Amino acid sequence: MPLAWLAVFAVIAVALVKIAFIDGMQPGQVLAAPGAAVAVPVVQATRATVTNTVQVQATVQSDAAVNVRNTTAGVVTHLFLSAGSKVSTGDRLYQVRTEVLPEPTAAAQPVTGPLTSGPAMAETGRAGGPNTATARTAASPVYTYTDVLAPVSGELATLTVLINQQVGVGDSTGTVNPGTFTLSGSVDASQQYRLLAKPASAQISVVGGPAPFTCPSVVLKSVAGDVAGATTGNVPGGLAGGVGRSVPYAIAGPGGGGAPEQGGTPTGTISCAVPSGVEVFAGLGATMTVTAGQAKDVITIPLTSVQGSVKEGLVWLAPAGAAHGPAAGTAAGPAAGNPAGNPAENPAGAAAGEPAGQPEQRKVQLGLNDGSMVEIVSGLAEGEAVLEFIPGAPARTPQGPQFAGSGPYPMGG
């Protein structure tokens, strides 16, 4: 037994010596520490199809009543219809009698009594007889009758003339309610630029209404034109119609590209007449989707990479050492999957932490854009890398519920 215990203690002593002096001297495995490096996001020009589709929040509005204008001066002699009647374009509403006075006519009459010299002798000589003279007689009045017609189809809302009433040319004598509707919405400057191609039709989706339908004859007008039309009452669905909704849009990202400011000042209106047979009511909301052109298989880059969005713009070519792709360059070192810093695995061809060069500015010709991507007509080749965001442009935080109340402190400090 004493020998057995001695053997056990000897084994324990050898184990402790090995742990303390042999294993403790060997270097242990070094854990990878997280690291970070600031890099400039870069995107490449690629081929894609750009569809210029603009969505506008619109409102259904009743078309304004059309005035009945009197076309001739005279006296009203007959009423064909009364207020509340259904009319079609060209129906007779009332009749106006106009008096036309002809020129007086000359007639030869016998002259009694002695003739004297002077004008009477001259008239006698022209009459052809010794005892005749010419006298002027007034002709009977002549009347013409004119029918005043309905300017449009609809309901005769008012008719203000009476029998034997004297009317003049251009007098407003009634109104016709056409019973038609117009969709109208506000557009900002960015949307107006995208609609320069003058779209012919729009796809309409009415909130709580019928199935989506096509609305022909889209009309795009500037604010100045709508104000003038609202003053004269000739433009239905203008600014006087009360369209005050702001136009929503998708935030493209931090940059001064082509994205408009949310809630920007409307610079124009877009409207179209609701086709007959589509059941709608005034005040309903709708989404108007307008497609103004499509470019297939063209070179594109994000709008955030371009300063300007119409015809001409500026881009910044990526310098050597810039990271490609929005997710590249966010981590470096062993945690980034490149523990040895192998240049072959660095897409920019530069070691981590090496400062990149200065970007090169270049002018490009722009085509269509869809609110996030823009067509490059010339100035940039496929595969060339540009900065994803314009240098020096302030970053914008997208608005949304995910950024409000997400922490223990209120927004704004």
Q: Does residue 28 surpass a pLDDT of 90?
A: no
Q: 35 in a domain, yes or no? A: no
Bin 306: left if φ > 0, else alpha if -120 < ψ < 50, else beta. beta
Q: For residue 324, give the H/E element and its range.
A: strand 323-324
Q: Which pLDDT tens digit goes with each residue over 115-147?
A: 444 444 444 444 445 555 555 566 677 899 999
Pairing of strands 307-310, 105-110: unpaired
Please check whether residues 170 and 271 belong to one and the same domain. no
| pTM score over 0.85 | no
Same domain (yes/no): 45, 72: no
Position 9 in a domain: no
Do residues 404 and 398 lie in contact, with contact meaning Cβ atoms separated by under 8 Å?
no
Question: Are 183 and 280 within one domain?
Answer: yes
Q: Is residue 95 within 8 Å of 147, Cβ to Cβ?
A: yes
User: Which domain, by its residues, includes 290?
Assistant: 52-64+179-295
- Taken in order 16, 21, 27, 33, the sign of the CA dihedral is positive
User: Residue 205: which pLDDT band, with cuts at 50, 70 and 90?
Assistant: very high
Could you tell me if residue 387 is inside a domain? Answer: yes
Q: What is the pLDDT of residues 374-386, one digit of tens each?
A: 999 999 899 999 9
CA–CA distance, 30 with 339 (Å, rounded to integer): 12
* Residue 361 counted as domain residue: yes
Residue 366: CB atoms within 10 Å: 22
Q: What's the full length of the chain, in residues?
A: 413
pLDDT confidence band for 409 (50 / 70 / 90)? very low
More confident call, 48 vs 400: 48
Question: Does the pLDDT of residue 11 top 90, yes or no?
Answer: no
Tally the domains of the chain. Answer: 3
CATH number at residue 147: 2.40.50.100
Q: Is residue 359 part of a domain?
A: yes
Burial 273-288 (b: 16+ CB within 10 A, else e): bbeeebebeeebbbbb
pLDDT tens for 258-288 read: 333 334 688 889 999 999 889 999 999 999 9
Q: Which residues pair with 60 in a beta bridge?
A: 183
**Element at 221 (helix H, strand E):** strand 219-222
Q: Which two three-digit tokens encode residue 67?
A: 């005035």
For 288, the token pair is: 């108007």
Token pair for 266: 């409307």
Please state whether 142 falls in left (phi above 0), alpha (psi between -120 and 50) or beta. Answer: beta
The residue among 325 and 249 whose pLDDT is bigger is 325
Q: How far is 201 from 190, CA to CA, in rounded Å?
A: 19
Same domain, 59 and 199: yes
| Residue 112 within any structural domain of the chain | no
What is the domain-level CATH number for residue 362? 2.40.420
Span 206-239, pLDDT tens digits? 998 889 999 888 888 887 654 444 433 333 333 3
Domain check: are 245 and 171 in the same one?
no
Q: What is the mean pLDDT of residues 191-205?
A: 84
User: 410 in a domain, yes or no?
Assistant: no
Supply the mean pLDDT for the chain. 73
Residue 177, pLDDT score: 95
The answer to whether residues 77 and 158 belong to one domain is: yes
Calculate mean pLDDT across residues 316-321: 81
Q: Who has greater pLDDT, 184 or 348?
A: 184
Residue 124 included in any domain: no
Q: Are residues 184 and 291 in the same domain?
A: yes
Write down the pLDDT at residue 59: 93
Judge if 161 and 229 occupy the same domain: no
CA-CA distance, 219 to 228, in Å (whole number)?
15
Higher pLDDT: 331 or 133? It is: 133
For range 44-64, the mean pLDDT: 91
353 and 253 inside one domain: no
Residue 58 shares a structural domain with residue 199: yes
- pLDDT tier, 326 (very low <50, low <70, confident <90, very high otherwise): very low
pLDDT the model gives residue 168: 94
Q: 266 and 159, same structural domain?
A: no
Question: CA-CA distance, 144 to 254, in Å (whole number)?
Answer: 74
Residues 261 and 160 in one domain: no
